[in-house]
Each structure stands twice: as structure tokens, then as C-alpha cells.
Amino acid sequence: MNLEAASRVAAECRDIATAANFRAEPLKLDVSQEESVASATKYIVETFERIDYCINCAGIGVQLARGISEADFGEFSRFLRIHVEGTFLLVRSVSAAMQLQELKPVDPSNPARGGTRGSIVTLGSGNSFAAAPHLVQYTAAKHAVLGVTKNAGM
């Protein structure tokens, strides 16, 4: 991740934020590295005391679009590492932190809506459901991301 660019985006967010207590913290994170994910989760919990929302959208684009008979195994492996292993590591780490959090009402003005310890959203693509020509690495990874996400919701 480009920490310098993230710092600029965080500054822009702070400039346009309307809530007085708004905070944006840029953070360098490699979702394919277990220690990086664990460290980031720990930092976020220590900084903000809890994680209420996690949007999981890390991914990379196809560099070598080819049919399966010519597909590059290195790129295929890299896609699985970033998309699938990254999704698994982030969802596992954040859900473990959320399980330790105090239950908060979904809507304080409507207690009947129940409570939550946090929400995780994983972004996929149309290729989570359907194949596309010359994108075996992307399609396989996005199908697997959908599987990890469905399992996490059980």
C-alpha cells in the first residue's frame, strides 16, 4: 500500500468531515501477511477502542489475461494470496476482535432491532458468481472470496 497516498486521502477526509470527533488514520497494511493484518487490527482496537465496521476490498488486477492453457502460475498464486488469503486473514482477525467487544444496540432509539458487535463487508465482483474469458486467476480468486465470506457469516 502507498502510505503517502493514504495520508493524503486521510487529510482530505478530515478536511471535509462534519463531525467534530471525526478521525482518519492512514495505516500501511499488507493483507497477504498474517503479522501485518494482526498488527493493524491491534492498532485499530488500541486507537479507537473497538472496530464497528470493516470494509474488506483489497485486490489486484489481471496483468496477463490469457486462457487457462497459457495462464501464468505465478500470477494465479499471487491472486490467491492477495484476494483469498488476504480476505481470510482480515476477516479472521477483525471478527476475533469484534467477538470480544461489548454488544451495542443497532439503533438506540429502537431496541427491538437488537445489538451488534460490528459488521464486516467483503467486496467481490461479478466474477464471484460467473466466469469470464482469460481471467482464470481473477475468477477463481473471487469465487473463493465468496466462499470465505459465506462461511464467515455462519
pLDDT, one tens digit for every residue, the chain (154 residues):
789 999 999 999 999 999 999 999 999 999 999 999 999 999 999 999 999 999 999 889 998 899 999 999 999 999 999 999 999 999 999 999 999 999 999 999 999 999 999 999 999 999 999 999 999 999 999 999 999 999 998 8
For the chain, the domains span 53-152
Q: Where is 48: in which H helix or E strand?
A: helix 34-48
Q: What angle do CA 26, 83, 147 make, to 5 degrees?
A: 125
Respond yes or no: is residue 43 known to be catalytic: no
CATH of domain 53-152: 3.40.50.720
Cβ burial, residue 93 (10 Å; 0-12/13-18/19+): buried
CA pair distance 66, 8, nearest whole angstrom: 36
Closest CA to 147 of 134, 128, 133, 127: 128
Residue type for position 33: Q
Radius of gyration over every alpha carbon of the chain, rounded to an integer in angstroms: 18
Is 142 one of the annotated active-site residues of the chain?
yes
- The pLDDT of residue 1 is 75
What are the grid coordinates assigned to 111, written together?
A: 431496541
Please state the pTM of the whole predicted model: 0.89
Residue in 28, 42, 43, 138 annotated catalytic: 138
CA distance 113 to 136: 42
Question: pLDDT at position 133, please?
Answer: 94
Coil, helix or strand at residue 153: coil
Identify the active-site residue in 43, 104, 142, 150: 142
